[in-house]
Structure 1
Amino acid sequence: MDLTTELARAVGVDAHAHYFGTDLAASHSAFPDSRWPRLVTNGSAGRLMLGDTPFRTVRSALWDVDERIRELDSAEIALQVISPVPVTLAYWAEETAAAHYAAATNDSIAAAVDCSRGRLAGLGTVPLPYVDAAISELHRAVRDLGLRGVEIGTQIAGHDLDSPALDPFFAAAASLGATLFVHPTDGGGGVVRRSGQPYDFGLGMTTDTAVAATALVFGGVVERHPELRILLAHGCGTFGWVYPRLRLGAQIWNQVDPAHLDTLLQSLWVDSLVFDPEHLRLLAHRFGSDRIVIGTDYPFIAGQLEGVRDFLHEARDVGALAASDVSRIFSHNAYSLFGIADPPPFEHPEAPTSRAVGVSK
């Protein structure tokens, strides 16, 4: 069986994609602070706003489930795991408003999943600076709404992920079997000494993710909670490259067994959003090919969703991935990560489309 046939039989899963429903607009009046994210739409175009300040221009695939599914069909992706737009993880907010906004976001994502006829799965959000409230909303999101877990930031209101205050939340996530998707929340700003673009996007976000992974591994989080399912965005940023130096430093100054660190590291999952197929070689070497899942950042970065098959083909062609690993990364790894027992049936473009959620008329 050639690789193309193997991939055609596989059920593609995009594990890193974002959603912002227009149904959240009905909740916005309850959040008077000018920093709250909101969506303004005009036909097929839209703008994400922070209060009255434009944040970024977006297209209707961000909120229109029908359009999203059509594009999944074209890319031959059978399942997409949607998560909040990272800027909506408003860790600066006071507790009551933060809890209400998280609940409204989770309700919106669950509604999109419910009307997608099995083509979407969801990750929600929690008001994580307030751990008790975060645990309560995590339980609701997973048990009541059927979400697969939640997206969390790389840093929580000034605290890194190995802060002892967050430990009860990680324990709760482990006990629920909830997947935690770690993603930068501020676009890489304030992480490195240079600001603006391309520094924030290219260096800030990847460094931010690496700091989060360092906290998880070297700060003891994954050791204390071995059942945790943690996915890190953007191929875990620069962590795969700097890990040997971190490991050596921990061995010299902290007398940590490097083999033990290797075991802890390989409990993490990473996505494939690294923009160079050669980089998948290091991810497979560092984390294991069974710990890589597709990530496209849909619908924000053009070409990623429709190009993911070619990306994996090229990784195979340059020897960055073994042919036997490609279909695993294309689909099967994500089913394991998100605890999905059986792939949903793939519906081709000629099938009837689903009802859209929150589409502006």
Structure 2
Amino acid sequence: MIIDSHAHMADPKFFDRMGKTLPKSMLDPQILLDEQAKAGIDISVISGPRVMEVGVDAGRLDPTEVAKEYNDFVANLTARHSKSFVGLGIAHAFADDKMLGEMERAFRQLKLRGFLVVPRYQDEFIDSRRADSFFALCESLGAVVFVHNADGCLSQEYMQDNRLVELVGRPNEMTLLAARLVFAGHMERFPKLKLFLGRTGGAITMYAGRIQEGWVTRISRSDGIPPWGSDNLKNSFMDSLSKIYFDTQTFHPPAIRCAVDTVGASQVLLGTDFPPVPHSLLESVEDVRRSGIPEQDVAAVLGGNARTLFAI
């Protein structure tokens, strides 16, 4: 079985009401179903990026009401295509009691498998203690936390040409988030948390050795560098990093191999970001097969790991 853990569908009625335009591929499930068939993908895990930001920032709507509307939409969509789709809800990570209640409803009643959130809200990343209730509930439910970039990114004013926000800025922000979550102690404070980062976690697996070395020498170095700051980890940086799940959405087979070599094949899942990206589902599947990882790991990355993580 091949499972795409990073696919998208949006509610056309919602975006029409907000006055926003999306690619047709994000609004018509038949387009995704046709691409799945071409690529030999059995199931896509459907999530909804942009929805919370559009509803709250542009529409000035209540975050819980935005979440409820999308969660009902994706639950109905996946019920109609139960052999091909499973669904993730959306949430706001700085959750109040209303949002936490909606998350419980979405997981327990609608049977969604987890929640999409973004790396930060304004200038506050989700390693903030304001997100502790969100993470604690996801851990207790067994719900997957899928972190997907918002449209913008830090320092985007320097990335206005050549689509650098999309191509460089968003992956870099995901790298920063991964490091922040680890050093904030999230994988130790929430040991059963199912944390899943899009875009292969940015470049975090490539920088893992450098960061681990920094953690090892955080006290012993005395060459004029700034002090380490808060020290929240009982075990090593790599120990926590290896508990996080990552998708393969890089379009670069060597990066997939790096992720597998760094955190282990069990932590890496096929993810395409289709729709709307122009890289076809078949190409994304072939990226995994061309990565040079062992054949048994190919099978795990293409489907076995997702079956376990999303309880498919």
- Match status 1:145 vs 2:115: no
89 and 143 in structure 1: CA distance in 2 versus 1, 3 angstrom threshold:
farther
In 2, the alpha carbon distance for the partners of 1:25 and 1:276 equals: 32
**1:2-52 Cα distance to aligned partner (Å, 9 max, x none):** xxxxxxxxx1100011110224358x3xxxxxxx5x55xxxxxxx33xxxx
Residue 172 of structure 1 and its aligned partner are, at CA, apart by 0.4
* Residue in structure 2 matched with residue 331 of structure 1 by the alignment: 303
- Match status 1:261 vs 2:251: no
**After the TM superposition, which residues 303-322 of structure 1 pair with which residues of structure 2 at under 5 Å, given as runs?**
303-316=279-292, 321-322=293-294
* Residue in structure 1 matched with residue 260 of structure 2 by the alignment: 284
Q: Which amino acid aligns with 2:146?
A: F
In 2, the alpha carbon distance for the partners of 1:87 and 1:135 equals: 18
Q: What fraction of aligned residue pairs are identical, expressed as a percent?
A: 26
In 2, the alpha carbon distance for the partners of 1:153 and 1:137 equals: 18
In 2, the alpha carbon distance for the partners of 1:156 and 1:134 equals: 15
Query: Match for 1:13 among 3, 19, 24?
Result: 3
Residue 149 of structure 1 and its aligned partner are, at CA, apart by 0.5
- Match status 1:114 vs 2:114: no
Query: Match for 1:72 among 2, 25, 36?
Result: 36
Q: Which amino acid aligns with 2:262?
A: R
* Residue in structure 2 matched with residue 302 of structure 1 by the alignment: 278
**1:45-88 Cα distance to aligned partner (Å, 9 max, x none):** xx33xxxxxxxxx12x3222233222211211110001002354
Identify the structure with the greater strand proportion. Answer: 1
Residue 142 of structure 1 and its aligned partner are, at CA, apart by 0.6
- Match status 1:273 vs 2:263: no
In 1, the alpha carbon distance for the partners of 2:297 and 2:152 equals: 31
In 2, the alpha carbon distance for the partners of 1:88 and 1:174 equals: 22
| Number of residue equivalences | 300
**After the TM superposition, which residues 102-251 of structure 1 pair with which residues of structure 2 at under 5 Å, given as runs?**
102-188=67-153, 190=155, 193-251=158-216
* Residue in structure 2 matched with residue 354 of structure 1 by the alignment: none
Would you say the 8 A contact 2:89–2:114 is kept in 1? yes
Would you say the 8 A contact 1:86–1:183 is kept in 2? no
Q: Which amino acid aligns with 2:211?
A: L
Q: What is the SS of the residue equivalent to 1:240?
A: coil
Residue 96 of structure 1 and its aligned partner are, at CA, apart by 6.0
* Residue in structure 2 matched with residue 84 of structure 1 by the alignment: 48
Q: Which amino acid aligns with 1:79?
A: I
In 1, the alpha carbon distance for the partners of 2:28 and 2:67 equals: 20
Q: What is the SS of the residue equivalent to 2:153?
A: coil
Residue 251 of structure 1 and its aligned partner are, at CA, apart by 3.0
Q: What is the SS of the residue equivalent to 1:14?
A: strand
Would you say the 8 A contact 1:312–1:326 is kept in 2? yes
RMSD: 2.4
- Match status 1:101 vs 2:77: no
**1:93-145 Cα distance to aligned partner (Å, 9 max, x none):** 79962211111111111111010032101111113334323211211111111
In 2, the alpha carbon distance for the partners of 1:179 and 1:164 equals: 19
337 and 95 in structure 1: CA distance in 2 versus 1, 3 angstrom threshold:
farther
In 2, the alpha carbon distance for the partners of 1:273 and 1:290 equals: 16
86 and 24 in structure 1: CA distance in 2 versus 1, 3 angstrom threshold:
closer
Question: Any stretches of 5+ residues in structure 2 without a counterpart?
Answer: 219-227
* Residue in structure 2 matched with residue 54 of structure 1 by the alignment: none
Relative to the length of structure 1, the TM-score reads 0.77
In 2, the alpha carbon distance for the partners of 1:260 and 1:217 equals: 9
